[in-house]
């Protein structure tokens, strides 16, 4: 059976038995979290315990207990109703985390889930990873499994695993704990053959017919010939058997990160000052960074929404130049901008949204020894920081324009606008370094120009014409100086014969 | 940190005074002017705060830095101008060989912001040109910038008004700039470690044709305007013949 594959696939099934509970925990305060808690799901008008924390387990609460029995066992039990959307959201995040361990991550099929609603609602959620070939990066499969276990622990998500050579078997072989050792092929085979048939995901009718036929273990089923099986069972079970025998590939779409990022943290108590906002913001940014590294891209803009219980939500946009895949940098920038923002008194919900991404350019790994990339990285970091603290209007950059009138040939443009540096006409005449935003009129006293002090003309004129399609401008520019050696750029408008100062040579 | 580590860290700093040893190998940045390099013992001190005090704006205080700016921007480094007194004129900067996309102009609203921007710029390795405008910067504030510059790799240039000359300053280098003759910048050394203050240097700036003209000697008479010449052109055009 194993000879048919060039490289034997290794499937890891990650199951999250307490996901329904863990998806709801972040909303609770720490003292609430230490109490016995159970998640209740309602099916066919009866409310049953779906899962519970260890404190509740100590009181004898276990899954499938009815809510009234549970409350009798433990009167101070805190019951939460199940929220499938939250679970799905959490599962997506876990898929993103798993995606950093293997490129093949498969989530349970949503279509099947709907048609088979009853079955799936009680079964804990899980996902598959194909980890063959990922051992080199982690220096061995056991290291990979340990690293994954640690990551999940950091997120305070409890998980159990099953490992086999096909996804179906991995799910069947799900152990009650997280395996940090990769089992050998013979171990897997033995375990699979001795697994009880009641674990198999099929209808109760099917289970009864197994009993009638005297089939107890998966091994008994696999020992039967194909013709014998197809006479007795429907095609759904035949599919499962084919998959268990590695005869049929697992047909499911691979997990792909979504096109945009949106994540929400709720705090039912409300957050009253900006310092306390930083902690949930940090969590959200850490999730964003996981997403960014999964998609292998950089983020261009962050959008924060701060929603109070009553009143209007506040939105804050953080512009990023590039090269930020580090949550601490993003937090610093958001924090600088947050200082300028007026917030409502209490914040209940924080949302982070981003849909503007650029791909990391090819070969942008920092391989050069001498840190040439470093300086451009530093400068974009600086621009981002200044932007965040001072606002976009405080920053500008001189730009060249295709025009002859000095005030139009040079302008201050917004920093995020790309400039094309085209030295068009090279003037031989002297040009100043400083330009007055508006030409200032000069007086004439005793046949001498006077601006703060008497000015003398040194050289000139250079005639500049322009703007002929509107009001025609014709100016003669002169270089002038005063008694202390400062040099000025003057012009005389030919139509009005008036003198203006337009710049300073510096 | 061990004691030797602390000492060696201190010794590598620009602002540590080391007794009589005046011939210290220091890292410098070429100013682009030969005479000025000689005056400053190699060039602008690196990792240091440099204070320039022009007598008046427009005497050539910015031209002095053009070679430094050009080198800096061509190495791909950012150059930040904080609160310049006027708008920089892009064509002449471009003609001087400065990459305009490496230039950022920042306007601060108050002294607090001014200091923050200056410090961020120094710490991020950008070349800083800052003009003191609102109120004279205090010793402690400049000291903060001097410390930031000493810890980073960049130099920072501060343009202070001439009135700041009498006040003490933590800057590594202080220069007074004035001009006796046109196109000539006179540089007076006010403070540099290892040099006696008071050394003077005349620096020739970019030469323009210079003969002074009084106003009444200027070519007078109304220049021909566009409409006049257009009329002339239409009279001479072959269509009318």
Q: Which domains does chain A have, with CATH numbers?
A: 2-23+83-244 (no CATH), 261-363 (3.30.1490.100), 432-505 (no CATH)
For residue A465, list chain B residues with Cβ-Cβ distance below 8 A: 226
Q: Reply yes or no: is the peptide bond before residue A168 cis, omega within 30 of 0.
A: no
User: A355 or B219: which carries more pLDDT confidence?
Assistant: A355
Across chain A, mean pLDDT equals 81
Beta-bridge partner residues of A306: A314, A350
> Over 80: is that where the pLDDT of B135 sits?
no
Best-predicted range by mean pLDDT among A106-115, A411-420, B222-231? Answer: A411-420
Residues in chain A, overall count: 506
HEC letters along chain B: CCHHHHHHHHHCCCCCCCCCCCCCCCCEECCCCHHHHHHCCCCEECCCEEEEEECCCCCCCCHHHHHHHHHHHHCCCCEEEECCCCEECHHHHHHCCCCHHHEEEECCCCHHHHHHHHHHHHHCCCEEEEECCCCCCCHHHHHHHHHHHHHCCCCEEEECCHHHHHCCCCCCEEEEEECCCCCEEEEEEEEECCCCCCCEEEEECCCCCCCCECHHHCCCCCCCCHHHHHHHHHHHCHHHC
Q: What angle is formed at CA A226 by the lines to CA A222 and CA A228, rounded to 5 degrees?
A: 95
B54 belongs to a structural domain: yes
Q: Which residue in A169, A134, A164, A168 sits closest to A148, CA to CA?
A: A134
* Interface check B178 vs A, CB under 8 A: yes
* Interface check B124 vs A, CB under 8 A: yes
C-alpha to C-alpha distance for A428 and A423, rounded to whole angstroms: 13
B221 belongs to a structural domain: no
C-alpha to C-alpha distance for B17 and B1, rounded to whole angstroms: 22
Q: Nearest CA of chain A to the CA of B17: how many Å?
A: 30
Q: For B149-204, how does the pLDDT look when each residue is reduced to its tens digit (9 = 90+)?
A: 888 877 899 999 888 888 888 888 999 998 887 778 888 998 887 778 888 888 88
CB-based contact B86 A434, cutoff 8 Å: yes
From A379, A465, A503, residue closest to B126, measured CB to CB: A379
Q: Which residue in A494, A479, A423 sits closest to A449, CA to CA?
A: A479
C-alpha to C-alpha distance for B101 and A248, rounded to whole angstroms: 59
C-alpha to C-alpha distance for A419 and B101, rounded to whole angstroms: 7
B148 belongs to a structural domain: yes
pLDDT classification of A368: cutoffs 50, 70, 90: very low
* Consecutive H or E run containing A232: helix A226-232
> Over 80: is that where the pLDDT of A3 sits?
no
The reported pLDDT for the residue numbered A361 is 64
From A437, A495, A506, residue closest to B57, measured CB to CB: A506
The reported pLDDT for the residue numbered B105 is 92
The reported pLDDT for the residue numbered A356 is 82
The reported pLDDT for the residue numbered A2 is 42
The reported pLDDT for the residue numbered A120 is 44
C-alpha to C-alpha distance for B131 and A112, rounded to whole angstroms: 69
CB-based contact B104 A389, cutoff 8 Å: no
The reported pLDDT for the residue numbered A46 is 82
> Over 50: is that where the pLDDT of A4 sits?
no
ipTM above 0.85, yes or no: no
The reported pLDDT for the residue numbered A362 is 57
Q: For A379-415, how does the pLDDT look when each residue is reduced to its tens digit (9 = 90+)?
A: 778 888 888 888 888 888 888 877 777 777 777 887 7
pLDDT classification of B211: cutoffs 50, 70, 90: low
CA-based torsion, A174, A179, A185, A191: positive or negative: negative
B166 belongs to a structural domain: yes
B168 belongs to a structural domain: yes
C-alpha to C-alpha distance for A111 and A95, rounded to whole angstroms: 18
- Taking a C-beta distance cutoff of 8 angstroms, is the pair A197, A212 a contact? no
Contacts of A420 (CB under 8 A, 6+ apart): none
CB-based contact B88 A389, cutoff 8 Å: no
B122 belongs to a structural domain: yes
B199 belongs to a structural domain: no
Q: Nearest CA of chain B to the CA of A457: how many Å?
A: 5
pLDDT classification of A504: cutoffs 50, 70, 90: confident
The reported pLDDT for the residue numbered B157 is 93
Q: How many domains does chain B have?
A: 1
The reported pLDDT for the residue numbered A111 is 46
Q: Give the range among A211-215, A250-254, B45-49, B232-236 with minimum mean pLDDT.
A: B232-236
For residue A468, list chain B residues with Cβ-Cβ distance below 8 A: 226
**Whole-angstrom distance between the N-terminal and C-terminal Cα of chain A?**
84
B210 belongs to a structural domain: no
C-alpha to C-alpha distance for A354 and A351, rounded to whole angstroms: 10
Q: Nearest CA of chain A to the CA of B152: how many Å?
A: 12
Contacts of A117 (CB under 8 A, 6+ apart): none
Across chain B, mean pLDDT equals 79
The reported pLDDT for the residue numbered B219 is 58
Shortest CA distance from A469: residue in chain B: B226
Q: Which residue in A250, A17, A21 sits closest to A125, CA to CA?
A: A17
CB-based contact B75 A449, cutoff 8 Å: no
CB-based burial, A57-86: b 16+ in 10 Å, e otherwise: eebebebebebeebeeebeebbbbebeeeb
We report the CATH number of the domain holding residue B80 as 3.40.50.300
Tell me if residue A495 falls in helix, strand or coil. coil
- Taking a C-beta distance cutoff of 8 angstroms, is the pair A6, A133 a contact? no
Beta-bridge partner residues of B53: B176
The reported pLDDT for the residue numbered A351 is 92
The reported pLDDT for the residue numbered B128 is 92
Q: For A34-91, how does the pLDDT look when each residue is reduced to its tens digit (9 = 90+)?
A: 888 988 888 777 888 888 888 888 888 888 888 888 888 888 888 888 888 888 888 8
Domain residues for the domain of B106 are 45-177
Q: For A305-323, how does the pLDDT look when each residue is reduced to its tens digit (9 = 90+)?
A: 998 888 888 898 888 876 6
> Over 90: is that where the pLDDT of A248 sits?
no
* Interface check B163 vs A, CB under 8 A: no
The reported pLDDT for the residue numbered B223 is 43
Enter the tokens of residue A309.
């219980």
Optimal mutation site among B103, B106, B115, B182, interface A, most CBs of chain A within 10 A: B182
């Amino acid at each position: 059976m194993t000879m048919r594959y060039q490289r034997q696939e290794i499937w890891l099934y990650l199951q999250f038995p307490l996901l329904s509970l863990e998806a709801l925990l972040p909303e609770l305060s720490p003292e609430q979290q230490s109490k016995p808690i159970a998640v209740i799901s309602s099916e066919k008008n009866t409310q049953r315990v779906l899962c519970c924390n260890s404190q509740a387990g100590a009181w004898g609460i276990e899954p499938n207990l009815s809510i009234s029995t549970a409350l009798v066992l433990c009167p101070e039990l805190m019951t939460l109703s199940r929220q499938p959307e939250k679970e799905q959201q959490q599962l997506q995040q876990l898929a993103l985390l798993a995606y950093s361990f293997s490129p093949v991550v498969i989530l349970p099929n949503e279509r099947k889930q709907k048609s088979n609603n009853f079955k799936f609602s009680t079964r804990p959620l899980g996902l598959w990873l194909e980890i063959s070939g990922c051992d080199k990066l982690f220096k061995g499969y056991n290291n990979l499994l340990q690293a994954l276990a640690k990551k999940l622990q950091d997120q305070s998500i409890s998980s159990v695993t099953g490992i086999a050579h096909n996804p179906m078997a991995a799910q069947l072989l799900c152990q009650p704990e997280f395996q940090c050792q990769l089992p050998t092929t013979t171990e897997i085979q033995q375990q699979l053959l001795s697994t009880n048939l009641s674990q198999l995901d099929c209808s109760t009718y099917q289970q009864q017919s197994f009993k009638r036929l005297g089939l107890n273990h998966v091994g008994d089923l696999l020992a039967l010939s194909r013709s014998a099986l197809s006479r007795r069972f429907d095609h759904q079970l035949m599919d499962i058997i084919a998959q268990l025998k590695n005869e049929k590939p697992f047909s499911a779409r691979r997990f792909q990160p979504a096109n945009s990022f949106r994540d929400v943290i709720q705090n039912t108590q409300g957050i009253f000052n900006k310092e306390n906002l930083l902690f949930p913001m940090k969590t959200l940014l850490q999730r964003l960074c996981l997403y960014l590294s999964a998609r292998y891209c950089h983020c261009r803009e962050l959008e924060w929404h701060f929603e109070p219980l009553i009143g209007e939500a506040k939105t804050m946009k953080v512009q990023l130049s590039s090269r930020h895949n580090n949550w601490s940098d993003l937090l610093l920038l958001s924090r600088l901008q947050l200082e300028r923002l007026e917030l409502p008194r209490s914040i209940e919900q924080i949302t982070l949204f981003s849909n503007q991404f650029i791909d990391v350019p090819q070969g942008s790994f920092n391989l050069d020894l001498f840190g040439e990339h470093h300086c451009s990285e530093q400068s974009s970091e600086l621009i981002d920081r200044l932007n965040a603290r001072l606002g976009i209007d405080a920053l500008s950059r001189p730009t060249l324009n295709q025009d002859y009138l000095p005030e139009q040939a040079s302008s201050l443009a917004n920093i995020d606008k790309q400039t094309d540096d085209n030295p068009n006409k090279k003037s031989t005449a002297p040009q100043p370094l400083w330009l007055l935003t508006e030409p200032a009129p000069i007086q004439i006293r005793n046949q001498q120009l006077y601006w703060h002090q008497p000015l003398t003309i040194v050289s000139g004129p250079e005639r500049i014409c322009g703007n002929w399609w509107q009001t025609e401008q014709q100016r003669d520019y002169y270089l002038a100086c005063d008694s202390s050696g400062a040099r000025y750029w003057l012009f005389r408008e030919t139509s009005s014969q008036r003198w203006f100062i337009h710049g300073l040579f510096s | 940190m061990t004691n030797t580590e602390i000492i060696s860290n201190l010794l590598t700093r620009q602002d540590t005074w080391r007794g009589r040893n005046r011939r210290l190998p220091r890292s410098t940045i070429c100013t682009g002017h030969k005479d000025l390099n000689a005056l400053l013992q190699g060039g602008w001190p690196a990792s240091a705060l440099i204070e320039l005090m022009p007598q008046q704006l427009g005497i050539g205080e910015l031209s002095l830095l053009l070679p430094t700016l050009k080198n800096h921007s061509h190495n791909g480094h950012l150059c930040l101008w904080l609160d310049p007194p006027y708008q920089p004129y892009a064509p002449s900067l471009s003609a001087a060989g400065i990459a305009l996309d490496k230039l950022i102009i920042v306007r601060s609203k108050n002294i607090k912001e001014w200091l923050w921007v200056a410090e961020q710029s120094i710490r991020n390795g950008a070349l800083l040109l800052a003009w003191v405008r609102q109120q004279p910067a205090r010793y402690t504030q400049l000291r903060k910038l001097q410390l930031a510059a000493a810890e980073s790799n960049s130099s920072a240039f501060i343009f202070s008004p001439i009135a700041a000359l009498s006040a003490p300053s933590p800057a590594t280098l202080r220069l007074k700039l004035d001009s006796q003759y046109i196109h000539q910048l006179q540089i007076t050394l006010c403070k540099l470690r290892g040099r006696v203050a008071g050394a003077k240097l005349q620096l020739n700036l970019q030469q323009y044709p210079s003969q002074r003209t009084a106003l009444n000697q200027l070519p007078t008479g109304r220049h021909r305007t566009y409409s006049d010449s257009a009329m002339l052109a239409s009279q001479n055009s072959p269509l009318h013949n």
